[in-house]
Structure formats: C-alpha cells, structure tokens
Structure 1
C-alpha cells in the first residue's frame, strides 16, 4: 500500500520538473515549438507508423538532452555561482549533447520528409 502512495508523488515531482523547464528554459520552448511543427507536418504528410515511431524517438532524445542540460546548468550554477572555467567546460559538454541530439533529429527528419516533399514537386 505504501508503494502506491509513493508513485503519484514521484510522478508529480517529475511533472513539476518538466513544467519548470518548459516555463523557464528558452531552448526547451524552441524544441517544443519545433516538435509541434513536426507533428503537424507528420499529419499533413500522413507518416507511416514506423516514421512516427522514429520521429518520436528522436524528438524524445532532443527533449531529454535539453532537460538534462538544463539540470546540469542549474547544478553548476548552484555549486559554482562565481565564474569557474571547469564549470564552464561542464556546461559546454552538456550543451554539446543537446547539439548532437538536435543534429541527429534534423538528419532523421530530413530523411523522412525530403522524399515526401520531392513527390510534391
């Protein structure tokens, strides 16, 4: 019985974290806007189930990378509020993970959408 009480609490903390990132992090907001546009494009181009699955995997990859990057930045700002070169490198590495995931998502999106756009021409 006590396990059931812990699950909603953990979920609510996680949901609060997602809401906080969506509310305060500009890059996350940009990724959410891009996600919305991609979903709309997916409906317009009538993606297959496999294409949807692949898109949602790479979208999730980017959003998770951005959330992780935001958490790392906040941790570093808390631990090292003054300018610190090593903290800057840590933040840069986390930002690099977001960039790699975003480039991966872009390439996957191009692979899926370019043939569909080509058919229209």
Structure 2
C-alpha cells in the first residue's frame, strides 16, 4: 500500500518541476516568495513560530492554487483551443482562487508587519 504511494512521488515532483520551468505564473509566485522571505529576514527580527506557521501556510496556499490554476488552464486549452464563454468563466474562477490566496498572504504579511511596527 505505501509502496504504491511512494511510486507516485516522482510524478508529483515531475509536475512541480514542469510548472517551475514552463509556467510563468508559478515561477513568479516562487520568486515572489523568495523575495518576501529575504525582505522579512532583512527588516524584521526573527518570526515567532506562530507567525512563521501562518506565513508559510499562506504562501503554500498561493503555490497550491497557482498550480491548480495552471493545470486547469493547460488541460482546458489542450481540449478546447477555441474561444468559449463557459471555459472563460472556468478559467477566470480558477484565477480568482489565486487572487484570494494572494490577498490572504498579503493580509498575513500586513498583520505581522503591523504587530512589529505598530501605529
């Protein structure tokens, strides 16, 4: 049973690697995450475990939604290359999930920044 899951692991890594190399949106999210990490490390003292957990979860949520958005767009474009209003709405909703995840990440960053700087 466990061997079955272990045998699937290379497929998942291959998908992430493919997205990192070929998908501009995913690659951008990864680079932004690295930039945010350097920004936090430079301007703030070390994060508490709670802050680190929330920030990590918010960032991983952005990466997950971006991967799902990219996978959905790629699959739909390969099946239906022509324009279609319903397909447009599906792709827009998937992009909206990335926007919501990004807004949540920004909110977490703002709360951490506000608690550190205070007004």
User: What's the TM-score once normalised by structure 2's chain length?
Assistant: 0.88
- Could you say what secondary structure the match of 2:46 adopts? coil
Quick check: 1:58–1:101 contact (8 Å CA) kept in 2? yes
- What is the match of residue 23 of structure 1? 21
Segments ≥4 residues shifted beyond 4 Å: none
Residues 17-57 of structure 1, C-alpha deviations (whole Å, 9 max, x = no match)? 11111111111111111111222234343100000000011
Q: Aligned runs of 1:13-52 on 2, under 5 Å?
A: 13-44=11-42, 45-52=45-52
Q: Aligned runs of 1:52-91 on 2, under 5 Å?
A: 52-91=52-91
How many Å apart are 1:5 and its aligned residue?
3.4
When the two chains are superposed, the root-mean-square deviation of aligned CA atoms in Å is 1.7
Structure 2 gaps of 5+ residues are none
Structure 1 gaps of 5+ residues are none
Aligned pair count reads 117
Residues 60-112 of structure 1, C-alpha deviations (whole Å, 9 max, x = no match)? 11000000101110121122111111111110110011001101111111111
